């Protein structure tokens, strides 16, 4: 494990949300939002409204900026966001999740909780100087984000689709080279 489990969960959720909003969006219905909520083990308020869905979707550019911010810029963004949302970190333990941090109330809007949790996770990224774990997908035509939590830092693509497409292209290039040689 590179970071504490709640930090890793928050980063995974933020990256998932940013990538879901890469066109064509895969977060277009309240059902998609419910699936996202369940997939990342969220607890607390979920309105299941199109308003909530719109607010969560609108977070994507802000999350992208936070996740890709470098060591000189991330602290300012994080500090500003935590102050703006009146974040007060506290340890919480609830069903299925051992002690972890919450910084806003469980009945705060979901988009507020997501952005504050992402900022809280970035605190760990900054302190550990692990910004290189977060990058844009290595596929030439993809702007998806990659969160590499692997021990040997081997992850380069945002999805299985991007990994496979590039593996096939590399194979074709090798075959063409062999045929020409």
Chain positions contacting Zn ion, by CB under 5 A: 137, 139, 142, 144, 158, 162
Please report the sign of the dihedral spanned by the C-alpha atoms of residue 101, residue 102, residue 103, residue 109: positive
d(C-alpha 81, C-alpha 26), whole Å: 27
CB of 180 to Zn ion, least distance (A): 29
Which CB sits closer to Zn ion, 30 or 92?
A: 92
d(C-alpha 145, C-alpha 17), whole Å: 10
Residues contacting residue 112 through CB under 8 Å, at least 6 positions apart: 85, 104
CB of 163 to Zn ion, least distance (A): 8
48 dihedral zone (left: phi>0; alpha: psi -120 to 50; beta): left
Q: Which helix (H) or strand (E) holds 147?
A: strand 145-147
CB of 84 to Zn ion, least distance (A): 21
CB of 32 to Zn ion, least distance (A): 19
Which CB sits closer to Zn ion, 56 or 137?
A: 137
CB of 178 to Zn ion, least distance (A): 27
15 forms beta bridges with: none
Which CB sits closer to Zn ion, 40 or 77?
A: 40
Q: Concatenated DSSP letters for 76-119?
A: HHHHHHHHHTT---EEEEETTEEEEEE-S-TTS-HHHHHHHHHH
Which CB sits closer to Zn ion, 50 or 164?
A: 164
Q: Contact, 131 vs 74, CB < 8 A?
A: yes
Which CB sits closer to Zn ion, 111 or 139?
A: 139
């Amino acid at each position: 494990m590179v970071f504490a489990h709640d930090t890793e969960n928050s980063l995974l959720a933020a990256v998932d949300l940013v990538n879901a909003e890469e066109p064509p969006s895969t977060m277009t219905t309240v059902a998609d939002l419910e699936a996202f909520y369940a997939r990342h083990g969220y607890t607390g308020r979920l309105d299941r409204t199109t308003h909530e869905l719109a607010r969560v979707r609108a977070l994507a550019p802000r999350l992208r900026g936070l996740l890709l911010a470098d060591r000189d810029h991330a602290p300012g963004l994080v500090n500003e966001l935590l102050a703006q949302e009146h974040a007060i970190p506290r340890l919480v333990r609830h069903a299925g999740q051992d002690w972890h941090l919450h910084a806003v109330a469980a009945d705060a809007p979901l988009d507020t909780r997501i952005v504050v949790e992402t900022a809280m996770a970035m605190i760990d990224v900054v302190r550990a100087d692990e910004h290189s774990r977060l990058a844009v997908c290595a596929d030439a035509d993809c702007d998806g984000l990659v969160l590499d939590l692997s021990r040997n830092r081997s992850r380069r693509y945002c999805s299985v689709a991007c990994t496979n497409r590039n593996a096939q292209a590399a194979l074709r290039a090798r075959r063409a080279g062999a045929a020409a040689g």
